[in-house]
Amino acid sequence: MKTRLWLFLLALLVLPAGMPLLLQAADQPAGDPGWPRTFMQNGKELTIYQPQVDSWENYKKLHVRFAIAVKPAKAKKETFGVAEIEADTVVDQATRVVAVIPKKRDLRFPNTTDAEADALRRIVEELHPPSQGLTLSLDRVLAYLNPDQQQLQHAVQLNLDPPKIYHSSKPAILVMIMGQPQLKPVLKDKNDLMFVANTNWDILYDVAGQSYYLLNRDGWLTTKDLLKGPWSQAANLPPLLSTLPNDDNWGDVRQNVPGKPVKEMPEVLVSTGPAELILTQGDPTYRPIAETKLMQMTNTDAVVFLNSSDAQYYFLTAGRWFRSASLDGPWAIASNDLPQDFAKIPENDPAAFVKASVPGTTDAKDAVLLASIPTTKSVDANSQPKLQVAYDGQPNFQPIPSTTVQYATNTSNAVFLVNGAYYCCDGGVWYTANSASGPWRYCTNVPAAIYTIPSSHPSYNVTYVKVQDSTPSTVVYSQTAGYSGEYVAATGVLMFGAGMIAGALLEDHWDDDYYRYPAPYSYGWGANYNYAYGGYYRPPYANYYGPYRGAGFATAYNPATGTYARGGYAYGPGGAASWGRAYNPTTGARAAGARVDTFYGSAGRFAGYNPTTGTAARGGYRSNAYGAVAGVQTNRGTGALAWDTAHGEGAVVKGRDGNVYAGRDGNVYHRDSNGNWSSNSGNGWQPVNRPEPRSAVQQRTQQRADTVQARRSQVQQSRTANRQDLSRMQQPSANRQFGTRTRELDSQAFARSRGNQLSERRSSFATQMQNRPGGGPQFGGQPRWQGQQRAIGGGGGGRAIGGGGRGGHGGGGLRR
């Protein structure tokens, strides 16, 4: 993925007039307001139960059913009915919210007179007008969808070869350098103090003393040989380090000069290519996983298992599995033939999150489905884009193998040349120009050749950004998780990055002046998937990977503008977390900002536009210990607001029995705690009989009869089969009808239960992340190290998920 220099400005979402101010707060994680939702006015009451999704065409057109209950003023009882809705949707992946904007609504009240039904409809329209929208949890919607029947992000061939995998049972840090070390002057035109530009660590080189100095948190390490070591504590720093520019680019490093004594000298592991680190606190310890022969390693942030069946270790990173007989290697590919026990990990086990990376599991399918939900961005087609592309010298283009596309090699932007025209993908938007340097305009038709870029190329991720729709006034671009570097492998598992192929290309095409391809880099930051977050990110305390997180290049220098940029980033379909520092020594201009497009900083806000209907919507939801609030507003002048507080005011009735369903036959059904169904056709609740199960004696008798029949002639078998078919056909039709209906209702109940589970899991995950010291995810549910961990970890802190900063400069990011 090509990126610009990291100049971030804090973006504030301004909510439309009438939206609750509560939504503008960002101190609590977003949460689903819940179901059922009740609206009251003038003694009248409308209760809307949790929806049931029939279809979601191209993730735009939603067909959904709600069971509803209407209680007129002064009425003693409520009347149940079904609301069937066809709607446009606007999706925000970061907050996992679907804004539902009805186009057509059908209200049915079984066994009522026309007059009674009309009166009930008028109450519904008064309390919840037909044009009023709703917010739904994306997790609850997806639970109803069959991944095999949805449009999914396509599978591609990814490299599964293992990177260099280190293991250490004592404090250690992993210094990953992208190819051979590249030294750049700290101050322009002065070569006495250099820094290593192609690493995610702060490493300075004193030319006179011919020594390297590495900043590990607030202490300094030194060596004469960067690649071979040995490393030792830096007793005295060269005087030049006190002359570091006190600006946004070097200020935080300067704050650690002369630094503090290193209490515990870590082992410094240096790799010139992609690498991962399994760091244990002493000798490995394990815990058994029920119903399997697996044991999970507990004293590490890495995801490692020991399988007693084959005496092999299994290590998971970036969605890829590797196996070895020893933690010291050698490691081999395991993704293609993973032991079945990984799919058998119980749902309530702390290690169950790894099933998203186990082929064939429901969790793996859920991850691909979530990654396939597009995110859209609309622009004014008649406005002038502000895109600027700088080249080092004259633009240089090289062909991409097996395509008719050429790509620019001396710019940090993703620029392509196709049939004499230039195209640039930046921030999920396509631009085009007649010249390599612009002026640029919004692109409404991306050449098909660009989508033939192979997955092995570092710029492959741009193929996941498309023009969804365009009108004379508006262009809408869509992107799926592939643009963030999350690809579906041939095994059906969502993986991060292309693997070692992209890494090799990055090394081969290293440029002396800046990074050309800060593509999604698979290794070097302990990336693992968690559905609750909605993508890949790193463990919270993995500071031993460096202060810049390792997900992308750490430092860039553009000689055309004289601008330095140093930062790290990590992407995921559910959001992005990054931080950046930039400084232009020529103009003195500087900027530093942050943004996290997930439940932090956005608090459940969403915005979107549907060009087909001309409908725009924005709003959000959030919850905390005091209650929940949700709202949506559209450009049709309509909106919806629901709230629930500790005083019981408002719309979300959390204590009410929500096991009410809208049947396809127009009736309303209720499911009790034992799984029994009752129907309400206007005359109260009546039990729905299930087909009577066959007794154990009948089953054994039939099994013996089947054994005898198997020994008879083919003719006799056919006659017997015919008699059995006739017997089944002669069963009471009501029994068959109830059997079909209850099976369909059971399926709906299962989908609702799973949707609730996924939604609650994410809400709980968000709360845990916020309450945990230092923030960040906790893989596997195991307790992580505290005191010693800080000594083990290297460089900086920060609080962002997957992002973070140096020396406490943290948080923030910019969604791509």
Tell me which of 764 and 526 has the higher pLDDT: 526
Q: Tell me how far apart the alpha carbons of residues 793 and 787 are, in angstroms, rounded to a whole number.
A: 10
Distances (CA, A) of 244 to 206, 240, 581: 12, 7, 15
Q: What string of DSSP letters covers 491-537?
A: TS-EEES--HHHHHHHHHT--SSS-S------SSS--EEETTTTEEE
pLDDT of the residue at 489: 95
> How many C-beta atoms surround the C-beta of residue 337 within 10 A?
9
Tell me which of 246 and 445 has the higher pLDDT: 445
pLDDT of the residue at 590: 38
Distances (CA, A) of 641 to 127, 192, 317, 535, 619: 12, 63, 42, 30, 9
- Maximum CA extent, the chain: 99
Q: Which residue has the tokens 């609030």?
A: 629
Tell whether the model's pLDDT for residue 500 goes beyond 50: yes
pLDDT band at 71 (very low <50, low <70, confident <90, very high): very high
> How many C-beta atoms surround the C-beta of residue 653 within 10 A?
16
CB 564 within 8 A of CB 188: no
> How many C-beta atoms surround the C-beta of residue 607 within 10 A?
18
pLDDT of the residue at 699: 52
Q: Is the dihedral of CA 176, 178, 181, 185 positive or negative?
A: negative
pLDDT of the residue at 400: 93
pLDDT of the residue at 6: 23
Tell whether the model's pLDDT for residue 762 goes beyond 50: yes
> Where are any strands of DSSP class E within 683-777?
685-687
Tell whether the model's pLDDT for residue 775 goes beyond 70: no
For the chain, counts of helices (H) and of strands (E) = 9, 49
pLDDT of the residue at 741: 76
* Model pLDDT for residues 319-367, shown as the tens digit of each residue: 999 999 999 999 999 999 999 999 999 988 999 999 999 999 999 999 9
Averaged pLDDT, 380-395: 88
pLDDT of the residue at 704: 53
pTM above 0.85, yes or no: no
Distances (CA, A) of 389 to 408, 436, 760, 815: 11, 8, 44, 20
- Residue 31, beta-bridge partner list: none
Which helix (H) or strand (E) covers residue 603, if one does?
A: none
Q: Tell me how far apart the alpha carbons of residues 451 and 466 are, in angstroms, rounded to a whole number.
A: 9
Distances (CA, A) of 758 to 31, 164, 351, 363: 12, 35, 16, 10
The answer to whether the peptide bond before residue 330 is cis (omega within 30 degrees of 0) is yes
Q: How far is CA 497 from the centre of its chain?
A: 14
* Model pLDDT for residues 570-607, shown as the tens digit of each residue: 434 333 344 344 444 444 443 333 323 332 223 334 44
Averaged pLDDT, 418-445: 95
Tell me which of 668 and 703 has the higher pLDDT: 668
Q: Which residue has the tokens 């925000």?
A: 92
The answer to whether the peptide bond before residue 395 is cis (omega within 30 degrees of 0) is no
Establish how many alpha carbons lie within 13 A of residue 716's alpha carbon, considering only the half-sphere containing its beta carbon: 8
Q: Tell me how far apart the alpha carbons of residues 586 and 583 are, in angstroms, rounded to a whole number.
A: 9
Best-predicted range by mean pLDDT among 573-582, 781-790, 800-809? 573-582
Tell me which of 499 and 787 has the higher pLDDT: 499
Least confident of 49-63, 469-483, 691-705: 691-705
pLDDT of the residue at 776: 39
Share of the chain above pLDDT 70, in %: 66
pLDDT of the residue at 764: 66
CB 610 within 8 A of CB 98: no
* Model pLDDT for residues 131-169, shown as the tens digit of each residue: 777 788 888 999 999 888 888 899 999 999 999 999 999
Q: Tell me how far apart the alpha carbons of residues 688 and 731 are, in angstroms, rounded to a whole number.
A: 17
Q: Tell me how far apart the alpha carbons of residues 709 and 222 are, in angstroms, rounded to a whole number.
A: 83
The DSSP letter of residue 30 is -
Averaged pLDDT, 305-328: 97
Least confident of 85-99, 281-295, 393-407: 85-99
Q: Tell me how far apart the alpha carbons of residues 237 and 214 are, in angstroms, rounded to a whole number.
A: 11
Q: Which residue has the tokens 């262009």?
A: 475
Q: Tell me how far apart the alpha carbons of residues 260 and 218 are, in angstroms, rounded to a whole number.
A: 6
Q: Which residue has the tokens 């961005």?
A: 377
Each residue of 493-512: b (16+ CB within 10 Å) or e?
bbbbbbbbbbbbbbbeebee
Tell whether the model's pLDDT for residue 611 goes beyond 50: no
Q: Tell me how far apart the alpha carbons of residues 274 and 272 are, in angstroms, rounded to a whole number.
A: 7
> How many C-beta atoms surround the C-beta of residue 665 within 10 A?
13
Least confident of 53-62, 269-278, 496-505: 496-505
Q: Which residue has the tokens 């293609």?
A: 336
Which helix (H) or strand (E) covers residue 700, if one does?
A: helix 696-710
Q: Tell me how far apart the alpha carbons of residues 553 and 372 are, in angstroms, rounded to a whole number.
A: 27
> How many C-beta atoms surround the C-beta of residue 651 within 10 A?
22
pLDDT of the residue at 216: 93
CB 761 within 8 A of CB 350: no
pLDDT of the residue at 210: 96
What average pLDDT does the chain have? 74
Q: Tell me how far apart the alpha carbons of residues 590 and 660 are, in angstroms, rounded to a whole number.
A: 57
Hey, what amino acid is at 449? A
Residues recorded for the chain: 816
Q: 612, 661, 623: which is closest to 767 by C-alpha? A: 623
Q: Is the dihedral of CA 689, 691, 693, 698 positive or negative?
A: positive
CB 585 within 8 A of CB 574: no
Tell me which of 619 and 360 has the higher pLDDT: 360
Q: Tell me how far apart the alpha carbons of residues 80 and 669 are, in angstroms, rounded to a whole number.
A: 10
pLDDT of the residue at 416: 97
The DSSP letter of residue 692 is P
Q: Tell me how far apart the alpha carbons of residues 755 and 751 are, in angstroms, rounded to a whole number.
A: 6
Averaged pLDDT, 556-560: 49
Tell whether the model's pLDDT for residue 621 goes beyond 70: no
Least confident of 386-400, 595-609, 636-650, 795-809: 795-809
CB 656 within 8 A of CB 47: yes
* Model pLDDT for residues 235-246, shown as the tens digit of each residue: 899 999 988 887
Best-predicted range by mean pLDDT among 103-112, 145-154, 492-501, 602-611? 103-112
Share of the chain above pLDDT 90, in %: 38
Which helix (H) or strand (E) covers residue 301, if one does?
A: none
Tell whether the model's pLDDT for residue 101 goes beyond 50: yes
* Model pLDDT for residues 205-214, shown as the tens digit of each residue: 999 999 999 9
Where are the chain's structural domains?
180-271, 376-464
pLDDT band at 690 (very low <50, low <70, confident <90, very high): low
Q: Tell me how far apart the alpha carbons of residues 787 and 791 are, in angstroms, rounded to a whole number.
A: 7
- Residue 417, beta-bridge partner list: 406, 422
pLDDT band at 531 (very low <50, low <70, confident <90, very high): confident
Helices 696-710 and 714-729 meet at what angle, rounded to 10? 150
Q: What string of DSSP letters covers 536-596?
A: EE--TT-GGG-TT-SSS-SEEEETTTTEEEEEEEEEETTEEEEEEEEE-TTT--EE----B
